[in-house]
Amino acid sequence: MRIAVIGTGYVGLVTGTCFADSGNDVTCVDIDAAKVARLQKGEIPIYEPGLSELVVRNAEAGRLTFTTDLASAVKPASIVYIAVGTPSADDGSADLSALWKVVDSLAPHLHEATLVVTKSTVPVGTCSGIYRRLNERLGRNCRVASNPEFLKEGAALDDFMKPDRVVVGVRSAADAELLRELYAPFLRTEKPFLIMGPESAEMTKYVANALLSTKISFINEVANLCAKMQADVDDVRRGIGHDSRIGFAFLFPGVGYGGSCFPKDVRALSSMATACGVEPQILAAVDAVNERQKHVLPAMIEKHLGASVKGATVAMWGLAFKPRTDDIREAPALTLIDRLLAAGAKVTVSDPEAMDNVRAIYGDKLTYHERPLEALRGADLLAILTEWSEFRNPDFAAMQKLLRKPVVFDGRNIYKPEQMRAAGFNYYSIGRPPVEQTEAKSQ
């Protein structure tokens, strides 16, 4: 098939590349000429494991091209995917300004058989709004569908090529069959192809992210309660996770969620509920708990340092909101950085992928180290904000020598308390009893 993908952000680039890899001719369109020029050279503007190699391979095969010329991409296409950003507006609702500009721009170039598909995460009713808008401009019935994405940053290629399910929201059997044919190479293991109305498909995307966010906020609130009641959240998590009705997924306590999806999607769904006259009590609580959770570790560190926070040096491992990405949007690490800098502390940081993005915000206010151990030299403590694999099995003896004091604040619970006790560290984590060396207590 000939496919046009409008928008070369995270979702658009992954979508276009994966469709090209299954044998389709794909043209990705973006208004950012510099970005398109980089992509044409094989330079990938985001970090996603395996994506760079896949882009280069399909571009060299002639199946994947990049352009700023929307008309040249849309006119020959059987399917046009819209994959532009829908960020949060000031009131929490989704900002669809970029999407409507795309709809208006592509309308003159659509032929009657072209199917327009929304891949962007959009409020319920947007697909119907696109349908009405195109019909008004063209004076005929147009084909419009919804096909939400369920990609995890850091595992997007696997998620796309080996999906748990594919959801399509359509108004006709013909549109469903066209999309079924497109996705057939990715569904050979009998994973479901779920057909529903566009409104249900749009709602499915928001509800999936909101429910996962709810699980994270719930276990974080439980962890904070455990910390006050001498319980261990790891034991509690194991105790509930083996219940088949509950499971373990997304029940890992930490410093709160961030990224481009969960925060904005929870707020957007909450905004939709309010607009419909439904009070979003759970959704509002999920968002509030998460924002509060981002301050739990900073408060622990400030309490530990006391008046000496001014002039102290804090080392941080991890800046991205999760491992295997360079995305720092709403990352909990930024909350800690801001509080430490405001208190007069010095901050040294290390992250495998996200340092350039952080440097673009903070510049020389921070000290950056490619090697995690180097960030510890002369620091009063280490704070862990992202559970990168590189941080899981460090040289504890070297850490002891480099740190001024053997203190670790683990916001992701990546170490075992007994392991840290044996290594001689004072160790503080989320929802678990602290490890405080006997010598430290006696001083």
Which residues have CB under 8 Å from 166's CB, separation 6+? 147, 179, 183, 186, 187, 191, 192, 193, 194
The alpha carbon dihedral of 212, 215, 217, 223 has a sign of negative
Distance CA 388, CA 154 (A): 11
Q: How many CB atoms lie within 10 A of CB 235?
A: 11
Active site residue 142: no
Q: How far is CA 272 from CA 91, 170, 254, in A?
A: 11, 21, 28
Q: How many CB atoms lie within 10 A of CB 296?
A: 22
Coil, helix or strand at residue 208: helix
CA dihedral 351, 58, 149, 163 (to 10 degrees): -90
Contact criterion met (CB below 8 Å) for 193 and 180? yes
Which of 28, 142, 226, 261 is the catalytic position? Answer: 261
Contact criterion met (CB below 8 Å) for 36 and 8? yes
Which residue shows structure tokens 């403590």?
A: 381
What is the arrangement of strands in the sheet containing 426-428, beginning at the earlier edge strand?
Answer: 367-368, 346-350, 313-317, 381-384, 407-410, 426-428
Among 83, 59, 155, 140, residue whose Cα is nearest residue 107: 140
Active site residues: 261
